Amino acid sequence: MTAETMRYGAIMILAGIGIPVLAALNAQLGHRLASPPAAALVLFAVAFCGTALVVVLTSGFSPLAEAPGEPKHLFLAGLLVAFYVLSITWVAPRFGIGNAITCVLLGQLLSAALIDQFGLMGAIVRQVTPARALGLCLMAAGVVLAQRG
């Protein structure tokens, strides 16, 4: 394993750790505000400020001038992240953080396998081998077991 692979893996593990923390914090904020959508809006406002700071420090705002000319379907990613944040903020307190994240993870693995299998949206083609399919089935079984616990 290369140092670059280890670095990327570590970053993504940290991002993965952040997802249930995000869910728990925003669910609590949604409860305190008595409005999951308001909590999601606050989350996005804070995320906007943090991201704007990173943009200023790394590349400045000039790359944003190109955004209006990009294919409009690429902006659906914003709606997908909004759906995720709204749904996790509303569902997690009712369903449990672990249950919600387990289902999110299963959905991520299934959609990632399809994206890789067919090289959708410019992804590198990576076949769903029998071993990968077995892993996905084991994950689905884990979701069922986690729901019974």
Amino acid identity of residue 41, one-letter, is L
Q: Mean pLDDT for each 10-residue chunk of the chain (149 residues)? A: 91 91 95 96 97 96 94 95 95 89 88 94 93 90 77
State pTM to two decimals: 0.82
* Number of helices followed by number of strands (H, E) in the chain: 5, 0
Q: Could you tell me which residues come within 8 angstroms of residue 37 by beta carbon, excluding any fewer than 6 positions away?
A: 86, 89
DSSP 8-state class, residue 35:
-
pLDDT at 149: 62
Q: Which tokens hold the place of 65?
A: 């001038």
Report the 10 Å Cβ neighbour count for 16: 12
The token duo for 126 is: 């990576």
**CB distance 22 to 81 below 8 Å:** no
Angle at 115 between CA 136 and CA 71, to 5 degrees: 155
Question: Given this model, what pLDDT does residue 125 score?
Answer: 95
